[in-house]
Amino acid sequence: MSNILKLKWLFNRYVGWSVLWIALLILVAGILNAVGIQLAGSIQNWSVWLRGHALAFFVWRLFVYSGICYGWYQMRIRVLVREDNSDTRQRLLRIEISAVCALVFLEIANWTN
């Protein structure tokens, strides 16, 4: 019973909203794929269409990444104003390097398929 009480922070409204948004995004992605398959006629035609438009999707992702970077930069400024010390700067730098590496590996994986 004591372990359940320690996980009380896990069951709050922010987690609930996050789970709801993730579920909604997965549902929308599934619906878009189903519609795309129907419009293309088959899964193979849908795959060919996706591969043919890979550059356009890459450009779209670059715009999304740019928006994320802008938001991160704004958040980074607020964090450093609130607590400006070397530990915070090191943690932010590690997070930034990890995020950039993850995005680069994701894009490499997208282009190798």
**What is the tens place of the pLDDT at every residue in 20-46?**
999 999 999 999 999 999 999 999 999
Amino acid at 23: A
pLDDT band (50, 70, 90) for residue 18: confident
Q: pLDDT digits over 40-74, tens only? A: 999 999 999 999 998 999 999 999 999 999 999 99
Residue 1 has pLDDT above 60, yes or no: no
Determine the pLDDT at residue 82: 92
Determine the pLDDT at residue 9: 64
**pTM for this predicted structure:** 0.70
Q: Which helix (H) or strand (E) holds 42?
A: none
Yes or no: say if 13 and 20 are a contact pair by the CB < 8 Å rule: no
